[in-house]
Amino acid sequence: MTAAPTVAVIGAGNWGTTLAHLVARNGHPTRLWTREPAQRDELNGRHSNEKAITGLTVDARVSATCEATEALDGATLVLMAIPSQAFRQVCRTLAPIIQPEQLVIHGTKGLEQHTHLRMSEILQAETCVRQLGVLAGPNIAAEVSQGKPAGTVVASRFPAVIAAGRAALSCPQLMVFAGRDVLGTELAGALKNVIAIAAGMVDEMGMGDNAKAFLVTRGMSELMRLCAAMGAEPWTLAGLAGIGDLIVTCASPLSRNHRLGVALARGQTLQAALTSIGMVAEGVFACRSARALARAHGLELPVFERVDRILHEGLAPGEALAEIMRLPAGRDVPSFAPASGGRSPGPTGR
Amino acid sequence: MTAAPTVAVIGAGNWGTTLAHLVARNGHPTRLWTREPAQRDELNGRHSNEKAITGLTVDARVSATCEATEALDGATLVLMAIPSQAFRQVCRTLAPIIQPEQLVIHGTKGLEQHTHLRMSEILQAETCVRQLGVLAGPNIAAEVSQGKPAGTVVASRFPAVIAAGRAALSCPQLMVFAGRDVLGTELAGALKNVIAIAAGMVDEMGMGDNAKAFLVTRGMSELMRLCAAMGAEPWTLAGLAGIGDLIVTCASPLSRNHRLGVALARGQTLQAALTSIGMVAEGVFACRSARALARAHGLELPVFERVDRILHEGLAPGEALAEIMRLPAGRDVPSFAPASGGRSPGPTGR
């Protein structure tokens, strides 16, 4: 019997810590990298990481370290769980050490501010990594760490990456599905947060479940058109990384982006709303990126545009919804050719 | 200026009454057909229909009648809002009267028990109607009648049907989108109720938001495969009649199907659960139909099959979820060729 290969997890937030716990429980020697010595000591000494994920007793086989060299040494698979705006800096830390044969899967749901780049693009720009994938889906870390059932996706063009991700993470409580569309999976994970902000606003305004479902569905339709225009497979949006993640993000009171929408609909400024949440909501950057990407691809995305104008240009949420309701109602769903079909997207049906 | 054409609404339940109210408010002479003289008298006398939709003051231009001849006479457009299991009987009542030039849109979300036929098939089998369409989407009647914002879809192969539906129903609170896929829209409306039952079960079992999003997404993926196999456009599932309606049905405590799932997960028998809900839950029939249709098309649909076995064969909800979690995790999303592409559906990725 071969020993299970070593896995490095980069980032000891709630998701990184949860991933390390799952991997170690599956019998893999597991290193968890964190910048903070206090976090490392807590993990190695008390097998906990209370600030990141309250109440979890981390599998004792997780070994935490602040040294990237130690974390990566001999690791077949590297899992990255780093906030999007810190992702490039961490890549630069890893760059001198990481090896081209190491497989990398990141689980970051966001785009880089200003550049609008995806995490896989940053990883490839900053390091020698080539065999990469992305992990996404409806995965609230607190639930996964408690052993509640969930499904997730590893998307990659490399079968070895998918196989390694499955071997490390699959367990009776976590089904790991396979995808091929890295681009679509990354866009879905990042941009669904904008739709979650809109859902939070509608909830707080008491507009009802119909209005919420309407805006979420129209937002998804806009996201599908953007993904298709950028070369992704629009079907990806129908999977766990798309509607799956969206359902969790829009429904759960734990979602930061949903809570941001609630706070804004109460009339708080963006700054005050972010302070009250006390955490970064990826959607704040993502709506800027979505609007820039839409413009670059010549698309009009009414829901995305209005969330951005609410957050960054002071549009009132109620007025935004009224504007959307005054738009001409076109086709319900866009029609797409498959990536291989060579047809351009059909009428966009706003 | 031409006078607005006359509209007949068949069925004075909560949805039919709401539709009649909207149509009349848009200035159309509106007849509302009901079997029950007491309901007719209440509508014509007090402009209310308390048993069907509490608190709504129905527009005074709605004229209720128990005579189908009177309801249909001179009506350009006929809107049908009849429970699926009574649909054929009502069609037989209308058959001797309805004219082939009358446009018909039905808003019934269900399939006929045992035959598994769609309402448009029954309508065509029983009457001379040919220019027909279907109305579907995330439309809780109570919210629409209160003037809360919503979006809906009229799907039809006949532009005249879509135009008539829009003219009758569009208003600042209701955006009416267009679709072409009658088959897919009917299947989505009927079969999403099965997924809502599953969602109610997971909620009640305390399995968490991840598990709920997982099952709902896998259920949608199964529904897309079934729709594609039956010749529908799988993209329809991405629209208001698909994920839009599903979001409302799975989230709202008002949904009968969701409540049925909750009751079953508490250990109630199907009969006891239905009695406690006090209304028909379309999903009870729909899961039988889904399973029969899947068998007929050679498909395995694990979520649909298990909901049916829970309802009709006594499978325990907890065991059903455990069975699903033990299945091999394949591809996340099916890949489809467009209807015109002539390719068969790709790997189904259970």
Enumerate residues 6+ apart whose C-beta is below 8 A from B314.
none
Coil vs helix vs strand at B282: coil
B277 or A155, higher pLDDT = A155
In this predicted structure, which of A77-86, A333-342, B125-134, B198-207 has the lowest mean pLDDT? A333-342
Question: For residue B335, what pLDDT band results from cuts at 50, 70 and 90?
Answer: low
Q: Does A333 touch chain B (CB under 8 A)?
A: yes
Mean pLDDT of A91-100: 97
DSSP H or E stretch at residue A269: none
Chain B residue with minimal CA distance to A318? B149
Provide the pLDDT for residue A163. Answer: 97
- Compute the distance between CA of residue A58 and CA of residue A39 in angstroms, rounded to an integer: 12
Question: For residue A155, what pLDDT band results from cuts at 50, 70 and 90?
Answer: very high
Best of A144, A192, A201, A214 to disrupt the B interface (most B CBs within 10 Å) is A214
Query: Would you say the C-alpha torsion A138, A140, A144, A148 has a positive or negative sign?
Result: negative
B37-86 per-position pLDDT tens digit: 999 999 999 999 999 999 999 999 999 999 999 999 999 999 999 999 99
A173 contacts on B by Cβ (under 8 Å): 325
- Compute the distance between CA of residue B121 and CA of residue A38 in angstroms, rounded to an integer: 68
ipTM above threshold 0.85: yes
Q: Cβ separation of B243 and A251 shorter than 8 Å?
A: no
Q: How far is CA A334 from CA A287, B58, B270, in A?
A: 21, 36, 39
Question: For residue A236, what pLDDT band results from cuts at 50, 70 and 90?
Answer: very high
- Compute the distance between CA of residue B107 and CA of residue B289 in angstroms, rounded to an integer: 19
A338 contacts on B by Cβ (under 8 Å): 335-338, 341, 343
Q: Does A344 touch chain B (CB under 8 A)?
A: no
In this structure, which amino acid lies at residue A333? V
What six digits make up the tokens of A83? Answer: 């906030």
Cβ burial of B114 (10 Å; 0-12, 13-18, 19+) is: exposed
In this structure, which amino acid lies at residue B158? F
A190-207 per-position pLDDT tens digit: 999 999 999 999 999 999
The helices-and-strands tally (H runs, E runs) of chain B is 15, 8
- Compute the distance between CA of residue A97 and CA of residue A65 in angstroms, rounded to an integer: 15
Q: Which of B170, B207, B239 shows the shortest C-beta gap to A333? A: B239
What six digits make up the tokens of A303? Answer: 């829901």
Mean pLDDT of A98-108: 97
Provide the pLDDT for residue A256. Answer: 85
Q: How far is CA A96 from CA A87, A122, A261, B131, in A?
A: 15, 15, 41, 68
Provide the pLDDT for residue A343. Answer: 36
Q: Cβ separation of B333 and A209 shorter than 8 Å?
A: no
B173 contacts on A by Cβ (under 8 Å): 325
B194-235 per-position pLDDT tens digit: 999 999 999 999 999 999 999 999 999 999 999 999 999 988
A245 contacts on B by Cβ (under 8 Å): 213
The helices-and-strands tally (H runs, E runs) of chain A is 15, 8
Coil vs helix vs strand at B131: coil
A244 contacts on B by Cβ (under 8 Å): 213-214, 216-217
8 Å CB contact between A18 and A53: yes
CA distance B68 to chain A (A): 32
B332 or B120, higher pLDDT = B120
Provide the pLDDT for residue A2. Answer: 67
Question: For residue A336, what pLDDT band results from cuts at 50, 70 and 90?
Answer: low
Mean pLDDT of A43-47: 98
Annotated active-site residue B192? The verdict is: yes
pLDDT at A337 over 60: no
pLDDT at A270 over 60: yes
Q: Pick the closest to residue B127 from B82, B161, B93, B86 (CA basis).
A: B93
Q: Which of residues 217-246 of A touch B (CB under 8 A)?
A: 217-218, 220-221, 224, 233, 235-241, 243-245
pLDDT at A255 over 70: yes
| Rg of chain A (C-alpha set) | 20
B78-113 per-position pLDDT tens digit: 999 999 999 999 999 999 999 999 999 999 999 999
Q: Cβ separation of B333 and A224 shorter than 8 Å?
A: no
Question: For residue B337, what pLDDT band results from cuts at 50, 70 and 90?
Answer: very low
When the pLDDT of each residue in chain B is averaged and rounded to a whole number, the result is 91
C-alpha A299 chain-centroid distance = 23
